[in-house]
Amino acid sequence: GEEVAQTPKHLVRGEGQKAKLYCAPIKGHSYVFWYQQVLKNEFKFLISFQNENVFDETGMPKERFSAKCLPNSPCSLEIQATKLEDSAVYFCASSQPQEWDYNEQFFGPGTRLTVL
């Protein structure tokens, strides 16, 4: 597609439950980035992929968070045993191979995760 698609728009989980978020990058884009936005600001980089390979995972919490980008499937970000502090909007962005060096990232509308 021509836009980054993220599903679901909203996700509510009880503390300790699993949450799984999905991202379909723009067709032809081989780089995918995940960011976490807490409290309307404070964007935090989580992880990036080059096709199905992890490119940079320096922002991923060591525990509970995992992500995948498999061929012919949307990318996913999974949080095991959610905590209250995981409540945030999670944004996915994608980039073309020739543009990634200039960080021409196109952002999706985000998934709002609320942990109760």
Shortest Å distance, C-beta 59 to other proteins: 7
- CA atoms of 14 and 1, how far apart (whole Å): 33
3-class DSSP state of 19: strand
Q: Which of 17, 45, 74, 96 binds other proteins (CB under 8 A)?
A: 45
Give whichever of 17 and 87 is closer to other proteins, judged by the CB atom.
87
Q: Are residues 5 and 108 in contact, defined by beta-carbon separation less than 8 angstroms?
A: yes
43 binds other proteins (CB under 8 A): yes
Using an 8 Å Cβ cutoff, are 3 and 70 in contact?
A: no
Strand partners for 13: 115
Q: Minimum CB separation from other proteins for residue 105, in Å?
A: 7
Among 58, 63, 71, 98, interactor with other proteins by CB under 8 A:
58
Binding mask 21-40 for other proteins (x = CB under 8 A): ----------x-x-x----x
Site size toward other proteins (CB under 8 A) is 28
Q: How far apart are CA 27 and CA 69, in angstroms?
A: 14
**Residue 85 backbone phi and psi in degrees, to 5:** -70, -10
Q: Which residues of the shown chain bind other proteins in the complex (CB under 8 A)?
A: 4, 31, 33, 35, 40-43, 45, 48, 55-56, 58-59, 91, 93, 95, 100-110
